[in-house]
Amino acid sequence: MTTSSSELVKAISVGRPPNIQKRFPNSKALLVSGKFIDLGMIKKKNAICMAANGRNAFVIRGALKAAQRANSALIIEIARSEGGASAYCAVNYWNMARIVDATCNELGITVPVALHADHYGIKSKDDIPDAKIEIPTMFEAGITSIAIDASHLPDDQNLLANLELKPFIPDWSGLETEIGEIKGKLGLSTRAEALFLIQGLNAHGIFPNWIALNNGTVHGIEASGQGIQVALTQEIHDALAVYHVSGAQHGTSGNSSQRLREIANRTNTTKANVATALQMISWGLEVNDDGNAALDDNGNFIKVVDQGVSEAMWAKMVAYANEKGWKGGNYKKLNLPFENKLLGLPREIRERMEQRVESFVFNMLVNVFNARDTADLTIEAILEANNFDPGPKAKRIESPEEWTTEKIIRKAALIESSQGPEGEFDD
């Protein structure tokens, strides 16, 4: 690490946002706005920060250890379906910062870490009043970055929801927006949709750090072989270049390392979510190099002996899933009922769960995402700003008069897009 101890102390002093300072006044963990993570990746060029989905404590610990080894900045995130009011994980929007902060101090983690509320889903106008109440509580609990995901809605309602909720998000926070609900090859995002959303936000003085697209990805287990559409992503990012918004890549599990390297090299992506792969790896399941869990001839996951959880615990997890009728991707629902059971396993079992995650994440950070030493560059950005908020990357270039509610509705009606089929594609 080239950052000196005095620079690190200064970064901790000036770079932690007000909610982190208040919640963890004596902490030595460098928990920062997602804005700085984005800037660190831009400084390196062709680098992507992993947004490790912290579905359990073992994933969080393993990912933090890997980031420290790689001297890489890191994002720890959880989605609303996973960690919201109706969560299926024990890690949630309100305890994730506490878990990460404690782990960083325990393990001596010095790399910058952002805490991202991923996929804060708005599926109808009726969700907005509750969101106005809930979002501030998440920042009070230590969230430093958020993704407003109204991509389930028509384009005009997506934009209007983003506009309505922005006052409830601190200006210093990292911000992600999304088009084209993530559902693989169904309902792919378009250049017109992306421009509509970003131009409309720009006109109202809102400058997201990231935009997430449906560029051919799915969440969970990738079995179609369709995968990420690099050319489509590049086309959309090129069209958005003047607005200085980076890309957020969702649905990485099951996509080839080569394809993810292309995303790093050919697009403006600086954030990539990794979720299902890390969960499966922590449990000790057989996972290929692309992070896709292997299945036997009967469609069941393959547990690697003496890896991850104990064989006895895995048998209990499988029995519970069978009782509930859960198969495939629905094994994610095991997180909540089994978190405390897993935390109660012997130390050597817990440590091998973490180690498995650490090895996978380290390889991704260094050999796929080109994120080695981005910790130093992120700290450099903090010291340059001498503040917890570096300000926006962009400036307003669109006219507010052209983006009134009435004109937004009229413009959206001219966009040709495909939302794809109905369904659950949240995480």
* Average pLDDT of every residue of the chain: 92
Q: What is the pLDDT of residue 218?
A: 52
If phi > 0 it is left, if psi is from -120 to 50 it is alpha, else beta; for residue 116 that is beta
pLDDT (tens digit per residue) in 23-79: 999 999 999 999 999 999 999 999 999 999 999 999 999 999 999 999 999 999 999
DSSP category for residue 308? S
Residues 6+ apart with CB under 8 A from 417: 155, 180, 187, 189, 190, 192, 193
For residue 275, is pLDDT > 90?
Answer: no
Q: What is the pLDDT of residue 222?
A: 42
Tokens representing 18 are 């007000």
Strand 74-79 relative to strand 113-121, pairing? parallel
pLDDT value at residue 252: 74
Reported as a single tens digit per residue, the pLDDT across 195-222 is: 999 999 999 999 999 999 987 765 444 4
- Element of type H or E holding 263: helix 257-266
- Give the pLDDT band of residue 256 (cuts 50, 70, 90): confident
* pLDDT at 184 (0 to 100): 37
- Specify which residues 246 forms β-bridges with: 210
| Reported confidence tier of residue 226, pLDDT bands at 50, 70, 90 | low
How does pLDDT run across 312-342, given as a tens digit for each residue?
999 999 999 999 999 999 999 999 999 999 9
Percentage of the chain with pLDDT > 90? 83
Q: How many residues in the chain? A: 427
Spell out where 134-256 has E strands: 145-149, 174-178, 210-212, 246-249
